Amino acid sequence: MSVRQISVFIENKKGKLAEASKYLAEHNVNLRALSIADTSEFGILRIICDDMELAQSVLNEGGYVTTVTDVLAVKIYDKPGSLAEILQVLSEANIVIEYTYAFLSSKPDSAYIILRVDDNQRAAAALASAGIKTANQDELF
């Protein structure tokens, strides 16, 4: 069970992130989660939103380079230790985590953590056997 994430290449220059977000706003794309990986020259904007097809097509039309990746989303409860527990499970299963970010759910007292790992299937299975469910796209909205 995984969710789809769009990554967008953004040059690390003043106004470039604003430009991309304005573009998405103009096309009524509602963002659910985002993170940015930055280097001195460029950044990778990663987003999860309500209409992935629309978001990717408007970005491509706007001349942005994009790619879609399947990532894992795991619901965690708003209490100390929830994240550590998940990471422990993945570590024990020898899963490599490329990056991770989190966002609050619209439901009270819960959040989601997004995990980009080297092997989605193995990671999901390891989490499942520890009783941790991975979310699908619809669940996030």
Partner 1 sequence: MANYYQPQFECASHEEIRAIQSEKLVKQVKHVYENVKYYRDLMDEKGVTPDDIKSIDDLHKLPFLSKADLRDAYPYGLLATDLKNCVRIHSTSGTTGRRVVAFYTQNDIDLWEDCCARAIVAAGGTKEDVCQVAYGYGLFTGGSGLHGGSHKVGSLTLPMSSGNTERQIQFMRDLHATIICCTPSYAAYIGETLKEMGISPDEIDLKAGIFGAEPWTEAMRRDIEKSLGIKAYDIYGLTETSGPGVAFECEAQTGMHINEDHFFAEIIDPETGEVLPEGEKGELVFTSLDKEAFPLLRYRTRDICILSREKCPCGRTLVKMCKPMGRSDDMLIIRGVNVFPSQIETVLLNEGYSPNYLIEVDRDRNTDTLDVSVELTPEQFSDTVKEISAKEKALAAAIKTMLGINPKVHLVAPKTITRSEGKAVRVIDKRKLHD
Contact positions toward partner 1, by CB under 8 A? 5, 7, 9-11, 37, 39, 41-42, 44, 46, 60, 63-67, 69, 98-99, 116
- Torsion (CA) 38, 76, 82, 113 in degrees, nearest 10: -10
**Residue 7: closest CA among 45, 35, 54:** 45
Minimum distance from residue 134 beta carbon to partner 1 (Å)? 18
Nearer to partner 1, 12 or 88 (CB): 12
Nearer to partner 1, 64 or 112 (CB): 64
Minimum distance from residue 2 beta carbon to partner 1 (Å)? 13
Helix (H, G, I), strand (E, B) or coil at 14: coil
Q: What is the largest CA-CA distance in the chain?
A: 46
Please state, in angstroms and rounded to a whole number, the distance separating the CA atoms of residues 81 and 58: 39
Nearer to partner 1, 62 or 87 (CB): 62
- Copy the structure tokens of residue 117: 């790992």
Nearer to partner 1, 39 or 106 (CB): 39
Minimum distance from residue 68 beta carbon to partner 1 (Å)? 9
